[in-house]
Structure formats: C-alpha cells, structure tokens
Amino acid sequence: MTYDSIIIGAGLSGLTCGLLLAKSGRRVLILEQHSEPGPVVRGFLRRGIYFDSGFHYAGGLGEGGPLRLLLKHLGLVEKLKFLPFVADGFDRLRITGSGDDIALPVGMARIAAHLSELFPHLQSEIITFLDEIEERWCDFPYLNLNKDFTAVGLASLDELSLARRLEVFSSAPELQTLLSMHALLYGIAPQQASVTLNAQVAGSYFHSAHGIDGGGRRLIDACLQRLTESGATVRCRADVVQILSSDGKVAGVQLADGEIIAATEVIATCNPALVPAMLPAGVLRPAYRKRLEQLYQTPSALILYARCATPTSTLRRTNLFVCPKPGTLQVALDRTLEDRPMYLAGADHCPDTDGTRGVIAIIPADFDEVAARQNSTGQRCSEYLNWKKQMARRLVRHVMTSVPELGELEPLDMATPLTLHDYSRAPQGAIYGVGRVMGQYNPQPQTRLPGFYLSGQAVAGPGLLGTLVAGYYTCGTIMGHELLRGELRTCR
C-alpha cells in the first residue's frame, strides 16, 4: 500500500503530525522503533503505582490557554481531564540548608505580588522581568494567532542569556535560583539559554500548571484513539533505517527487516542527529549534514522511581526543585550527585493506582557515567545492573535527606542515560533531545529533499507545548500555515 505520509517516530510530535495530516484526508502511517507508541511519555506501573516517565505537568492548559486550543483542535480535549496544580505553589524551591521553601503561585499577577512581598527591594525589577516573560512566552504564530511568520526560526544571536539577565537580582541569590530553576525542564544551563527560551517554558507554567488525569499514558491513548478514528495506522517495532528518494524527491522508507514502504511525504520526528545516516549520500549538503550531526544535545538524567512507606501529600500536584546552593542554577555534571539540582514530582495522576505513595526524582547526568557499563554490542552487563541498584539506593538516601517529610522511601526502579536512549534513541540519552542553545540555529521543517520534512522537539521546543507546536509548524509548512491557523481560530 502506498501512503501519502509516513511519520518516523510515535512520540508526541509524531502523533501530532499524524493527527493533523490524517485530519486533512491523507493516508498516514506512523512508524515507531519501540514496542509501544509514545515510549517516552507513556509511563509504567511498579508495585501498583503508575509512574509518569516523560510527562508530569504542562503550562498553557488553563481555560483559554494556547495549549488547550491546540488539543481542542486535535479533538483531544473531550478525551482528557486536566488536573490543576496547587494554586498557592505549583512549583516550590528548596535550597539545601536554608529555611523555608519558596513557592510559585499560579498566575503572573500572583507571582509578581508574592515575589515582591518576599523581595521588596527588588519589586520593580521583578515586575519588569515578569512583564518580559509575559510578552515572550507564547510568541510563536501557533500560540499567538495574531503573530505572523516572518521572524520564525531566526534566533537572535545578540539576545541576553538567562544568567546575564538574572544578574540584576544578585542581591537576592535565592530569587536567582527560583527564576532559573526551570532550566531543568529544558536542559540548557542558564549561561547558554536565552531569556526567550526560558520565557517560553517557564512562562507557560507561570500562566497555568496542570497534570492530566491518567498521566502521559492517557494522553498517548487519546491520540491513538483519534488516529484510529481518522483512519491513520501506527506500527511499532518498525525501525526505519533508510529514507528513500527517487527522481529527486522522497519516495518512502526502508525498515531494518528490509521492508520498503512507499510514500509521497516523509516526516522525521526522531532526533535530527540521526537523520543524515538515514538519507542516501549526496541528498543533504555536507554543511547541513554536519550541522544536524553536531546540534547541541541536552544532558541526560538519572531518574529514581520510589515508594513512600505512607501516602504523602508533599508532592501532590506540586513539584519540588531542590538546589544545593543559592544563585543562578548550575547544572554542573562534574559534581557529585548530591551537589546537582534535582526535580521531584509526585505520581498521583492515576486515581486507580496507589500514586499517593509514588515519588519521582530527576537529576541531570552525563552519558559517560554509564557508557562504560555496557559491552561493545550495547548489552547491559551485570556490572551495570549492580551499579544501577547502588545508584538507586544512593539517590533514595539523597532524596530522604533533602525532603525528610517524605519519610522512608523504597527504590522501585531507576532510569539511566542508557534507558533514556533506549526509549527515544536520542544520542547519549539526551533528556530533551536537541536543545536550543544560544547561537545555534535549530533545524526548520523544510529540507532540501522535496517531500521530506523534520519535526520534533528540536524544531520548536521541548515539552507537550513545544512538541505540539513542532507538529503544527511542520504540518503547516506542508499544508499551509494559514489553513491551520484559520482552523485554530474557529476552535476558539
């Protein structure tokens, strides 16, 4: 069978592209190397607790929020229930050894009032900083339907880094930590992240913060239902090794088992560094090929999934960022685990499981910490498994010391950079794939090979918001941005 569109990867971006293209009447096939669709996001069960893996909360899902509009247009809103995070503190910061946590309330005005009360001598600087975030956080034509496309993709090379911007708060190092901690959610150190990138991620959460009832798994299942309703096909264990071309345009793909599937459009949503090896030699210009291969990959992570001895409300619809010392966030991977920042989330988004006991702790880590622990064929040796157990115990101790109110914790599982690599194929298990570091032009959807496009978090940004926007951006490039934006306007 010939498809109109083949999409490589059934992550959030691939599923979004599939939904949009199927909605337009195309015959769509989504190919996923993993055994299940949405492998990064679909979470897993351990001892009766559902743990989310690649989705804990999202910004912009509030009533009238731009992410909610995209989900509505995709036909997903009626299939999902959004869970508002704690209004007085959806995110909290704990600086090791200091007094009380600092909470971030939901809503720009409430954040401004709360921070001005805590740091009165910086009130006007705080308000200016938040105004800048408000101005930039949805500065993309699929989030702001009044904005045009002329400036999209042109990263400003002379923009301030977040670290430089936060120098104005040097008399309040805790405030610098609070306003830079969301760098953990996009994987770029504040020294290399632009103020715009930070505004896009942090700003969406400042606006509203929600989880999804049933977690990432419910989100993926809702996408799959809609895809079935639209006649699209999703195939798993379908490892694309070649993107085929004929007569100067894309012709389909070849799978690892040799199967060839023809299509007139192919969209790669996998990490773009993987794309050059899939294309016949000469299709990409050498400079572009090199650019894709050398894109900045975000660090990886160690992720602990643990069970509290007794149910806890400490992380119920609120996250905790634990930072070893005040000042602009340092994501120094050469420091010991205990000296790195840590993000903690609860696991209670699945009401039919024992989630009020579940704790998830994410600490940035380097692939090199595990690379040597697999053999030359990529097989995990017993040394790796022992190391993983030891690290899980060490992380549990660290979490119990940092957040004693959680009580006794039992490690149930752990993800390492190798795990993250298995689930996404991202080089070195990059947690958010290709990041948007300052000075780098991230790839655009259009490529030199007619009919072949890129999408995924590298194109627009990480997270549910970034990946949905990436899907719209790529499909808008194919079908016409004004067509999609027109449809979105009618959904408001």
Site of interaction with ligand FAD (CB under 6 A): 8-14, 31-34, 39-41, 54-58, 239-240, 269-270, 274, 303, 362, 420, 424-425, 431-433, 456-457, 462-464, 466-467
Alpha-carbon gap, residue 40 to 36, rounded angstroms: 10
Phi first, then psi: give them for residue 376, nearest 5 degrees. Answer: -65, -20
Residue closer to ligand FAD (CB basis): 303 or 370: 303
Between the alpha carbon of residue 477 and those of residues 11, 148, 166, 452, the distances in Å are 20, 14, 36, 11
The Cα angle at residue 445 between residues 137 and 11, in degrees rounded to 5:
75
Residue closer to ligand FAD (CB basis): 122 or 183: 183
CB 97, min distance to ligand FAD, A: 27
CB 395, min distance to ligand FAD, A: 14
Residue closer to ligand FAD (CB basis): 91 or 174: 91
CB 54, min distance to ligand FAD, A: 3
CB 431, min distance to ligand FAD, A: 5
Residue closer to ligand FAD (CB basis): 169 or 367: 367
* Closest residue to ligand FAD: CB criterion: 11
Query: Which residues on neighbouring strands pair with residue 254, listed in sequence order?
Result: 242, 260
CB 461, min distance to ligand FAD, A: 8
- Token reading at 351: 């009401």
DSSP secondary structure letter of residue 429: G
CB 150, min distance to ligand FAD, A: 25
Residue closer to ligand FAD (CB basis): 358 or 462: 462
Which amino acid does the sequence have at 41?
A: V
Residue closer to ligand FAD (CB basis): 162 or 344: 344
Alpha-carbon gap, residue 222 to 240, rounded angstroms: 25
CB 376, min distance to ligand FAD, A: 21
Residue closer to ligand FAD (CB basis): 165 or 388: 388
The Cα angle at residue 392 between residues 386 and 394, in degrees rounded to 5:
105
Nearby residues of 375 by Cβ (< 8 Å), 6 or more positions away: 381
Helix H or strand E segment including 131: helix 123-136
User: SS in 3 state form for 314-380?
Assistant: CCCCCEEEEECCCCCCCCCCCCCHHHCCEEEEECCCCCCCCHHHEEEEEEEECCHHHHCCECCCCCE
Q: How big, in percent rounded to 5, are the helix, strand and coil portions of the chain?
A: 40, 20, 40
CB 437, min distance to ligand FAD, A: 16
Alpha-carbon gap, residue 140 to 159, rounded angstroms: 17
Residue closer to ligand FAD (CB basis): 92 or 165: 92
